[in-house]
Amino acid sequence: MGFMNKLPIVFLFLLGCSSPDFDLIVEHGTVIDGSGKDRFIADLGVKNGIIADIGDLSQKTATERVDATGLVVAPGFIDIHSHATSGSFNGSDVVRRPDAESYVRQGVTTAMGGQDGSSMLDIGSFLDSLDVHPAAINIGVFIGHGSIRSAIVGEENIPVTSEQLTQMTSMVEAAMKDGAFGLSSGLEYTPGAFANVSELVELSRPVAAKNGLYISHIRDEGGRLLESVGEVLEVGRSAGARVQVTHHKLIGKSRWGGASASLALLDEAIAEGVDAASDQYPYTASSTGLTILFPTWSKDGGFEALVDRLNDPTIRKQIRAEVIQHINAERGGDPATIVAARCEFDSSFNGKSLADILTERGLPITVPGAADVAIELVSAGSCSGVFHSMSPDDVETIMLHSKTSISSDGGIPAMNEGVPHPRSYGAFARVLAYYVREKGVMTLELAVYKMTSLPASQLNLEDRGKIAVGYVADLTVFDPETIQDQALFGDPHHYATGVRDVWVSGIPVLKNAVMSGTHPGKALRHHSQQ
């Protein structure tokens, strides 16, 4: 009898506890939806990780309500050029530091690795392992041309045979099948620099077939900028691939003001029907290895071969002459603009410019003196460097182009290790703080568009990058009056501030400016959209 009596009570209890309308309501926020349209005040309802409703949800129920009064609610930012996956499979930033705090605290929820021609070759296994051990943010990858060339041809400056090209092409095909978003190249690095345009066109065909993206660190960002941009556009024209000039910039003081000519080339190609775009990090300094100062021929065969050449007095003299020429032509002849960011062999060099090192030694600051220091550092094992060589006006000109996305070109640094470029900690916050709030270069709506739906469309991410019903609830809540990059050149290890909450697929990764320690990020795989 007791059993029979209990049944109706259980039934009534279930009726009274009908599940809430949403898992989460973010209410009263100022929504900037990522499309570029004007902001509006609304509540967002999230259910099962998806944005399920937008509007006045005051009468609806939710497991959790978060008040965003006075704050901006935007789609999570998408970093279309990231080094989060650079390095070995288990040595990559995102595997070692899956909280991705430098990204999360800027509102970034997706990072695209495999850049500059350098990636893991087995993209399928990497993405599978991320499915099992995800990060806080979503990760996607490109397949790197340089890595493929290195595996099939080696580090030498030789043309590919047709057999090798076939092998390389099938590797790109396999990567695209495994979910790569396209092909990346790094033509200012070896062995990428040894490829001619027809090699890049052939390898971009399988990318075009899947409507992927060819994203290129171009051959020369200084004196030969226009022909280098032209080469990317040639790949677009001949292979039919969508193309992107990544971290678009113009290096060298003597050329300042020339960025608009490069954008005009892009516009011309777009008018012809080439799907061409750019991305940019918002700084006037770049960052890469100190070997960038050295001529390409001296790096033929890889780093060891370069060191061997430096040990030969005759060849060393020739290299020195070209390094001097490079510093004069590309770096404005100013050794203070070239900074040794991180030297594995001796950390006492970290953060010092070539001018600082000369001064420390009681030597005059001259270009030949700087070349000698650069040769010494590279011979000892090389360093990563920071190079102050872009015009503030050119940076703004490129940023304002309608097809320029914001990217970081940074990774997920280990706190307090070395003196990396501040972009890893600050790129997205800096655009919102400096370029939008302080300088008024563009509206907040336009900046958010360049961080969300523009890169999402470049990547064919059809359900991310916008606040709209049916989109994945990758969201960030920030204060436009206080958001600030805190990382400085020479003192970069500071997280950005002003981002209060971040959700990835509706799961909080940052709550009231405290990291949640959750890892809801997805391994993203490209879906071809024809």
Q: Which is nearer to Zn ion, 116 or 445 (CB)?
A: 116
Q: How many residues bind Zn ion (CB under 5 A)?
A: 2
Structure tokens at 387: 């190079």
The SS3 call for residue 123 is helix
Binding segment for Zn ion among 138-146, 215-223, 234-242, 435-443 (CB under 5 A)? 215-223
Question: What string marks each residue from 161 to 200 as x (binds Zn ion by CB under 5 A) or -?
Answer: ----------------------------------------
Whether residue 401 contacts residue 362, with contact meaning beta carbons closer than 8 Å, is answered with no
* Residue among 128, 135, 147 nearest 92 (CA): 135
Tokens 């930033």 belong to residue: 93
Residue nearest to Zn ion (CB): 217
Q: Which is nearer to Zn ion, 105 or 331 (CB)?
A: 331
- Residue 191 preceded by cis peptide, ω within 30: yes
Site membership for Zn ion, residue 388 (CB under 5 A): no
Binding segment for Zn ion among 130-138, 217-225, 371-379, 400-408 (CB under 5 A)? 217-225
Q: What is the full DSSP assignment across 185-248?
A: EETTSTTGGG--HHHHHHHHHHHHHTT-EEEEE-S-SSTTHHHHHHHHHHHHHHH--EEEETT-
Whether residue 471 contacts residue 50, with contact meaning beta carbons closer than 8 Å, is answered with yes
Tell me the closest approach of the beta carbon of residue 337 to Zn ion, in angstroms.
18
Q: Which is nearer to Zn ion, 39 or 145 (CB)?
A: 145
Tokens 């030297």 belong to residue: 343
* Residue among 239, 250, 243 nearest 278 (CA): 243
Tell me the closest approach of the beta carbon of residue 186 to Zn ion, in angstroms.
6
Residue 232, CA distances (Å) to 197, 265, 379 in order: 8, 11, 33
Contacts of Zn ion in 68-97 (CB under 5 A): none
Tell me the closest approach of the beta carbon of residue 246 to Zn ion, in angstroms.
6
Q: Which is nearer to Zn ion, 49 or 114 (CB)?
A: 114
Using the rule CB under 5 A, which residue among 83, 210, 217, 342 binds Zn ion?
Answer: 217
Q: Which is nearer to Zn ion, 116 or 501 (CB)?
A: 116
Which residue stretches of 361-410 are H helix?
367-379, 392-400
Contacts of Zn ion in 401-440 (CB under 5 A): none
Binding segment for Zn ion among 12-20, 209-217, 228-236, 484-492 (CB under 5 A)? 209-217
For the chain, helix (H) and strand (E) counts, in that order, are: 17, 22
Q: Which is nearer to Zn ion, 184 or 211 (CB)?
A: 184
Using the rule CB under 5 A, which residue among 116, 173, 330, 394 binds Zn ion?
Answer: 116
Q: Which is nearer to Zn ion, 399 or 504 (CB)?
A: 399
Question: Distance (Å, rounded) from C-alpha 67 to C-alpha 55?
Answer: 14
Q: Which is nearer to Zn ion, 116 or 234 (CB)?
A: 116
- Binding residues for Zn ion, rule: CB under 5 A, are 116, 217
